[in-house]
Amino acid sequence: MTEQQKDTLVTAITPQSEDFSRWYLDVVRRAELADYTMVKGCLAIRPYGYAIWEHIQQALDSRLKATGHVNAYFPLFVPESLLSREAEHVEGFAPQVAWVTQGGTEPLEERLAIRPTSEAIIGTLYAKWIQSWRDLPVLVNQWANVVRWEKKTYPFLRTTEFLWQEGHTAHETEQDAQEETLKILALYKELAETELAIPVVDGQKTDSERFAGAVRTYSIEGLMKDGRALQAGTSHFLGQNFAKAFEIRFQGRDKSLEYAWTTSWGVTTRLVGAVIMTHGDDRGLVLPPRIAPYHVIIVPISRGNWRETVLPKACEIRDRLVEQGVRVYLDDRDGYTPGWKFAEWEMRGVPVRLEIGPKDIDKSQVVLARRDTREKVSVPTEGLTDRVQTMLAEIQTALLAHARRFRDERTRRTDSYDTFKEAMEGRPGFVVTPWCGDADCEASIKTETQATIRNLPFAETERPRHRCVRCDRPAVVYAWFAKAY
């Protein structure tokens, strides 16, 4: 996208069928979720977009605390000598690290990395804090920003600077650390499906896709409306790799000196992008109620002396809804017609629109319109709060069901490489196929089709009866391939 295109005011949204990428960028700008800045790849997240992230953040934070995790904060800068201690880790991140080489007018004696992730700085501190098995487990999370110098950026999905949470835990045994890794992955899946209404596939990444320095990486994968997959969260079993690199040792129950077993895991603001791409339509955003900045938009019909007649009733309804925990915005702005407001808030994805005019007051009713189906229904004002809350729950459930149907309809199985390659033309969704487990075979498939193994799902418990889809060697697992962001 050119600078001129970035600065162009978006007045209409490109249809998804015409150009999905353009549609996505139009929605981000038109709905005022984010805007470009003078620094490549660094977005300004606007209040409406940040409110979506806040609701995701709050939902996850409460879940983490309920499982015994606590929040802390660690430095933004990581000395180069620390970052380089774990060889595979630094090699994996080297192309993306941004460096500080000067402080004020003085050159630094040692370069400082702007954190691409925090294993290094946290590892040195855990080495100080952990002395005995009695100090374990350490279950710490931080909400922070990180910087990864991306060559190609895309709002929310891949940016130079982004917001995230990163958990870093230390454990007494391998089993404890492995259980933590899978516990967090299950928590991420529950968050995605319950709060974001995004169905995800959970499983283990291949070795070529695992986190640099990890023993095993697990992920949740969603399918966007253009048929491309999106990694929505990862959880890493680090084994003792980082403990050995940073000397995280403790006295065991038998008085022996042992290395801790560690994990790390995270989700980012890319979840906002996932919500847009999973649920949005040609009219703009469609937001799941649980993370929507507003559950209900009230639009009073501005006719006659509406400020003396309709507005007081609208305010009364707003107050009743707010008392019951419903997030409400009353749009009483002058200078905009009700029709313009309908379209504006539809574009912003508010789950329910409440219309009220003079005739509605005479009939002791309001009109409710669902954003997902655009269905409109007249509802008595008596019992309105219960009806709204029921409708919000129905929308949340319907969005998940619709997204799951979409994913299932675009998931196909084949053991033929010709069929596989044909399926991967365009952006078809998930293609499940037998795979031999060889990294060279995996790389060849990626080169020839641009498809990657998203993960090896836990649900795929049956050993393949067919041979590998590409190399014809015995297959060891069913792999889920897709083109991905």
The CATH number of the domain holding residue 189 is 3.30.930.10
- Is residue 23 domain-resident? no
Same domain, 64 and 212: yes
Last residue within a domain, chosen from 360, 391, 422: 391
Same domain, 142 and 171: yes
Q: Which residues contact 234 (CB under 8 A, 6 or more apart)?
A: 205, 211, 217, 218, 219, 265, 266
Angstrom CA distances, 155 to 27, 28, 236, 387, 483, stand at: 11, 8, 25, 36, 19
CA dihedral sign, ordered 100, 101, 103, 105: negative
pLDDT for residue 92 = 76
- Structural domain tally of the chain? 3
Same domain, 427 and 478: yes
Same domain, 68 and 178: yes
- Is residue 289 domain-resident? no
- Is residue 17 domain-resident? no
CATH number at residue 304: 3.40.50.800
Same domain, 147 and 274: yes
- Is residue 27 domain-resident? no
Last residue within a domain, chosen from 358, 391, 424: 391
Same domain, 211 and 80: yes
- Is residue 284 domain-resident? no
The DSSP line for 165-212 is EEEEEEESSHHHHHHHHHHHHHHHHHHHHHTS----EEEEPPGGGSPT
Q: What is the rounded distance in angstroms from the CA atom of residue 296 to the CA atom of residue 390? A: 13
Does a cis peptide bond (omega within 30 degrees of 0) precede residue 474? no
pLDDT for residue 444 = 97
Query: Mean pLDDT per segment of 10 residues, for the chain of length 485 residues?
Result: 50 93 97 95 96 98 98 96 79 87 96 94 97 98 95 94 98 98 98 98 97 96 97 98 96 98 98 98 98 98 89 97 98 94 97 96 97 97 97 98 98 96 89 97 97 97 94 96 96
- Is residue 210 domain-resident? yes
- Is residue 405 domain-resident? no
* Token pair listed for 484: 């991905």
Same domain, 122 and 230: yes
Q: Are 199 and 400 in contact (CB under 8 A)?
A: yes
| Domain interval for residue 375 | 294-391
The CA-to-CA distance between both ends of the chain, in Å, stands at 17
- Is residue 123 domain-resident? yes
pLDDT for residue 217 = 98
CATH number at residue 422: 3.30.110.30
Same domain, 274 and 299: no
CA dihedral sign, ordered 90, 95, 98, 100: positive
pLDDT for residue 151 = 86
Comparing CA positions, the residue from 63, 84, 211, 28 lying closest to residue 141 is 63
Same domain, 372 and 457: no
Same domain, 354 and 265: no
Same domain, 160 and 268: yes
Same domain, 213 and 315: no
pLDDT for residue 10 = 58
Q: Which residue has the tokens 């109620």?
A: 289
Q: Are 162 and 183 in contact (CB under 8 A)?
A: no
Q: Which residues contact 117 (CB under 8 A, 6 or more apart)?
A: 93, 146, 166, 264, 266
